[in-house]
Structure 1
Amino acid sequence: MRWSIFYQSWRSILKSRFLQLFLATFFSTLLLSHPLFAFSPPKTEIRGVWLTTNDTETLLDQPKLEEAIAELSRLNFNTVYPVVWNSGYALYPSAIAGKKGIQPFVHRGFQGQDPLTDLIEKAHAKGLLVLPWFEFGFMAPPSSELAKKYAKWLTQKRDGTQTTISAAGRVVWLNPFRPEVQQFITSLVLEVMDLYDVDGIQFDDHLSLPSELG
């Protein structure tokens, strides 16, 4: 008799648990299959190229730039990332940097054009997206105007030293916890978005800190 009661009790529990699990699975599947919750992978994969300061002649000469964009399109690239922030300098006519006493390092095109505007027009004509690239992030050379004029913006290690070694050589780092630094970088990003017909912004891993500076 005792075994019968014990068996019936566990059978009842198992049935109840099974029913709960079944209902939970059923409704979860039903809910997740709804278009509102369904995950859909991007229809077009990103195939991008970073345009650095290493080959400025291509970016400054309209015929060479047009040829380069046409070649990227032919090779099925669909996104370009032109650098706009490097070594503590804006590489476009930045009023924000100018107000801080940091003259933008601006190249005029060989034909007198704004290279970034020219690039955007040519890329969009071929169906490529343009996402300006803030390459150096919080990083800057110690000799840059940014580092010299705004030494209080820099962070440091426990021993008081400020530099680290990177692929760009010896560098210092802006302290991202300072409101002035946050405002400065944010203002540059918004300025690029306002001045140019861009499709987004590309940030670099330098928009974080080496652990010894945190």
Structure 2
Amino acid sequence: MAPPPLKRGSRLKALLPVSLNVLLAAVVGLPIGAAARSATPQPRRIGVWLTNSPSTLYYDGARIDRAVDDLARSGFTTLYPNVWSRGTTFHRSRHAPMEPALAKANPNLDPICRLTRSARRRGMEVIPWFEYGLMEPASAAIVRERPEWVLQRRDGSTGVEMHGTTMVWLNPAHPGVRQRFLGLITEIVQRCDVDGIQLDDHFAWPVELGYDPYTRQLYRAEKGVEPPANHTDRFWMKWRRQQLTSLLRELRQQLNELDASSGRGRLGQPPERVISLSPGPFRFAYNRWLQDWELWSVGELVDDLIVQNYAYSVRGFAKDLDQPALVKAKEWGMPVEIGILAGFGGRTPNMTTLREKVKLATARGHGVIYFYWEGLWGVHAGPEGGASRKAAFRKLHEEVNRSGR
């Protein structure tokens, strides 16, 4: 099983010096050990992202079951299946259309629920990944129908080129955007009874955006002036980050309410659902996307932190492990994992390189999450071949679990 985060409400206590924890324990009547339990080592997650692109996994129930079996036998504890991609879902949704290939192949399959049931039978957690966050294709119906929801640059442009496609960002401060975003998440949580949800670097506010009429009006109403012309003005960046934080806080509240209504977190029941976040390195995440994942983690808006480290070389990977915010993150009383590239397209590290990276990450106390499923031993397994890599991953994870590192 994957490690639980500290009980909510205790993470700030975990950051206090031992002497203050002792005082806090005396004041609130906790055992000293409970107030200082962040020092207790937790087992580490070994996880993988699963996605429909490029993969046929989501379109065949038997293939889903075989994949989960293989992952369980290879020592994986947590699965992060993509559930929100290119403005579409992988189930019948009240808020967005179904992914076209799934609608054509098997609209009744419900792959996320199928995967969740299969994983739960094997003692694994499932935390669906909202890959596209607040990002939508510029051609999406919702963009045409609700242009006032779209963030703009100072010149009125909206498009961001990503992976050969023009994307736009919906405004996290707009009530309509917030209602739809929260609806998409709570819908899949209730539908499949998953163990949490994951946001990544697309749950963001691109720093050059924010000059659309709605945001300008909201800023004027609060500050009495127009937004600064310089999109990197630190107070303007902070204000927009606060809007993103507010949406995350509302998500936290809604998940807490769902947990309370279902009994999660009570004795004998499944644990509270987690909010997992997978950002890039801290400086880049904040300066480019206004993601303050340090603040969100310490403020208990995030329970599981996976920092992407896709440096291809071992030297570059090791350097990125030593970024200050990531070093501090180990003190925050929550699981902290490293996102490692297993294979994608023409970039498939060999097992010797992957072993070195996993050892570097786990030696620093981190779990590991691989991107992505097909890069383990599937279509992007590279010249080593699927059978060889599957055996190598199983052996590697046995070593990690045996050493506690």
TM bracket, shorter-chain basis: 0.7 to 0.9
Change (3 A) 1:28 1:69: same
How far does residue 86 in structure 1 lie from its aligned partner after superposition? 1.0
Look up the SS of the partner of 2:91 in the other structure: coil
How far does residue 135 in structure 1 lie from its aligned partner after superposition? 0.7
| Matching residue's letter, 2:78 | T
- TM-score w.r.t. the length of structure 1 is 0.77
| Matching residue's letter, 2:158 | Q
Distance of 1:202 and 1:113 partners within structure 2: 22
Change (3 A) 1:186 1:26: closer
Change (3 A) 1:170 1:29: closer
Q: Is residue 105 of structure 1 aligned with residue 103 of structure 2?
A: no
CA contact (8 A) 1:84 1:133 kept: yes
User: Post-superposition, which runs of at least 4 consecutive aligned residues in structure 1 deviate over 6 A?
Assistant: none
Q: Which residue of 2 aligns with 1:160?
A: 156
Larger Rg: 1
Distance of 2:116 and 2:72 partners within structure 1: 14
Look up the SS of the partner of 2:42 in the other structure: coil
Number of residue pairs matched by the alignment = 185
CA contact (8 A) 1:62 1:110 kept: no
Distance of 2:155 and 2:107 partners within structure 1: 50
Q: Which residue of 2 aligns with 1:80?
A: 79
Distance of 1:138 and 1:166 partners within structure 2: 14
Change (3 A) 1:42 1:193: farther
Change (3 A) 1:120 1:55: farther
Q: Which residue of 2 aligns with 1:94?
A: 93
Q: Is residue 202 of structure 1 aligned with residue 198 of structure 2?
A: yes
| Matching residue's letter, 2:188 | V
Give percent identity, aligned residues only.
34
| Matching residue's letter, 1:130 | V
Q: 1:42-73 CA deviation, whole Å, 9 max, x = no partner?
A: 63212111111214522222222222111111
- TM-score w.r.t. the length of structure 2 is 0.42
Gaps of 5+ in 1: 1-24
Change (3 A) 1:93 1:166: same
Gaps of 5+ in 2: 1-16, 26-31, 211-405
Look up the SS of the partner of 2:63 in the other structure: helix
| Matching residue's letter, 2:87 | G
| Matching residue's letter, 1:170 | T
Alignment map for 1:19-98 (pairs within 5 Å): 27-28=19-20, 30-31=22-23, 34-38=32-36, 39-41=38-40, 43-95=42-94, 97=95
